Amino acid sequence: MDMEQKQEELIDHFVKQASSLTGASLASLVSEATSHPSLFAFSEILSAPSLLQLEGTENSVYLDVLRLFAHGTWSDYKSNAGRLPQLVPDQALKLKQLTVLTLAETNKVLPYDQLMQQLDVANVRELEDFLINECMYAGIVRGKLDQLRKCFEVQFAAGRDPRPEQLGSMIETLSNWLVTSDNLLISIQEKMSWADKMSELNKKHKKEIEDKAEEVKKTYS
Amino acid sequence: ENSLLRQVSSLLRRLPAVESGKFQDDFLMEYNDTLLVTYLAVLTNC
Amino acid sequence: SADAIFYYDEAAQTKFQQEKPWVNDPHFFKRVKISALALLKMVVHARSGGTIEVMGLMQGKTDGDAIIVMDAFALPVEGTETRVNAQADAYEYMVDYSQTNKQAGRLENVVGWYHSHPGYGCWLSGIDVSTQMLNQQFQEPFLAVVIDPTRTVSAGKVDIGAFRTYPEGYKPPDDPISEYQTIPLNKIEDFGVHCKQYYSLDITYFKSCLDSHLLDLLWNKYWVNTLSSSPLLGNGDYVAGQISDLAEKLEQAENHLSHSRFGPLVTPTQRKKDQEESQLAKITRDSAKITVEQVHGLMSQVIKDILFNSVQQ
């Protein structure tokens, strides 16, 4: 939520700019948005009509760059480097940060080897510096670096722009969670009623025993 | 609303909160200890 | 009007001090109102002491038969139960603090002291009773508050008691009915000897509009911390101590039974039987209390496990 609040103004600013620019002038906008240190969400900019109109034109490469930053990773860029424009260092950094978010989507424990391979990092020190300075300090991930087991335990990762095909599983997970919570509430309610009933029965039983004891005492005396 | 979807996506990625054998072992041990205390209390009651 | 309680009427307080209605009635003060701020500060201070007793002073005013505690401050002393006059180490601090307060515009005077009993309940020990008697001789109106931070965590609500001692030699007309609390075996003598020398006051709480607003803002942080913690894990030592104490009490009760002159075949006298029953009944109640707290802790763990760990992507 903090992440989203920080990005809200930036997204509005870029979307407004995108609506007023067309054609080749959008190139600088795309470059600025993908290099900005505090922006990690691009769906809103991507859905601006002026950008969608770039599809199939000579400037469609900028649209592809934006899509890469919205959904892709550093490996996707490397495999398509020929088609896409050269990324400046800030953009490369941004894409690597987004790659970490994508990896955190599938696994909570990210081995150093996998991270080094995906991010093109030479050694562990560099990787840890990147994770701490560029990811944790930026607020996009929170976690623990386990040097002994050589892995990064992710406790929180900011959400990337969702793809349409991901919505189905998100809805299913939310539904399951809702059903589990409802069932839990029903169980708690049942247990409460059971506890009340048992307490009443207990009291009644205790009173019966006490009355019987009194009766026996009276009979005896 | 993309912002909401991103937040939901981030939240759902955190589930399950803890999923490891060690946690299950510790959890079940706590469970057993509490049940043992309950058993002892019932015996004391008797 | 909700914040009217925070207004300090110096003239009225001075008049009350001159009238001294408590002199003729040892039971004059019956109620205590503690502000949310003072309560938070006292509990946090008590909890920060861990297993060591800590103490502090309370500032406030009086209102009829009620003592109103507006604020509290910690004293730089520890281990109040092990020394006769732990307060003596902090006299200079107390004087400096009170003077600085007045300069800063805080008009309330010191109306009492608080200290912690980590893990052994809210009552006044022999040392506490003599300290409070001395305070009531020279610093009236004065209140003694005891907080148990360990039981606060295990029970999930603040374990606090407010007390005032009777004057020397005074016999209260009837035994006050106090809420039962379990006392560890090693403290039970100290508790029993002095329990008739003081009485407890009813405690209520109040907060200002600003306090309500700030607490609302802090609510998110508070419930996340509560959800993340577990009394089962945090209070393990205390529970182990409780069970050990319970075992000792059971052994003691068993020894009483076996050492009584009349064996189990012959019915003991009614009085002895009542005594044994009440001792065993107390033990049973203690064991039920320990168990209930454990079960509550486990229930919260199970519910958290179902809610947050059983849902898969």
Q: pLDDT digit string (tens) for C54-93?
A: 999 999 999 999 999 999 999 988 766 666 666 777 888 8
Cis peptide bond N-terminal to B16, omega within 30? yes
Under DSSP, is residue A73 helix (H, G, I), strand (E, B) or coil?
A: coil
Q: Does residue C1 surpass a pLDDT of 80?
A: no
Q: A181 to chain C: which residues are within 8 Å by CB? A: 307
Rounded CA-CA distance A160/A143 in Å is 17
Residue C203 CA from chain centroid, whole number? 11
CB of C75 closer than 8 Å to CB of C42: no
**What does the pLDDT average to over C282-286?**
88
Residues of chain C contacting B, Cβ within 8 Å? 232-233, 243, 246, 250, 283-284, 287-288, 290-291, 294-295, 297-298, 301-302, 304-305, 308-313
**What does the pLDDT average to over C205-218?**
91
- Which range is least confidently modeled, A65-74, A172-181, C265-274? C265-274
| Strand pairing class (C109-116; A151-157) | unpaired
Subunits close to C (at least 3 CB pairs below 8 A): A, B
- Give C232's pLDDT tier (boundaries 50, 70, 90): confident
CB contact under 8 Å between A159 and B14, yes or no, is no
CB contact under 8 Å between B41 and C288, yes or no, is yes
Mean pLDDT of all residues belonging to chain B: 89
| pLDDT for position C44 | 94
Element (H, E) at C61: strand C54-63
**What does the pLDDT average to over A70-91?**
92
* Residue C258, Cβ density class (10 Å: 0-12 exposed, 13-18 middle, ≥19 buried): exposed
> How close is the nearest chain C Cα to the Cα of A106, in Å?
9
Mean pLDDT of all residues belonging to chain C: 86
Which residue of A166, A180, A189, A221 is the best one to mutate when testing the C interface, meaning the one whose CB has the most C CBs within 10 A?
Answer: A180
**What does the pLDDT average to over C27-52?**
93
CB-CB neighbours of A9 under 10 Å: 10
pTM equals 0.78
**What does the pLDDT average to over B2-31?**
89
Rounded CA-CA distance C95/C74 in Å is 13
Strand partners, A169: none
C243-283 pLDDT, tens digit per residue, is 999 999 988 888 877 766 554 444 545 555 555 557 788 88
> How close is the nearest chain B Cα to the Cα of A43, in Å?
7
Q: A156 to chain B: which residues are within 8 Å by CB? A: 10, 14
Q: Looking at mean pLDDT, say which of A52-56, A149-153, C21-25 comes out highest.
A: A149-153
> How close is the nearest chain A Cα to the Cα of B3, in Å?
7
| pLDDT for position A201 | 97
> How close is the nearest chain C Cα to the Cα of A157, in Å?
15
Of A4, A167, A174, the CB nearest to B6: A4
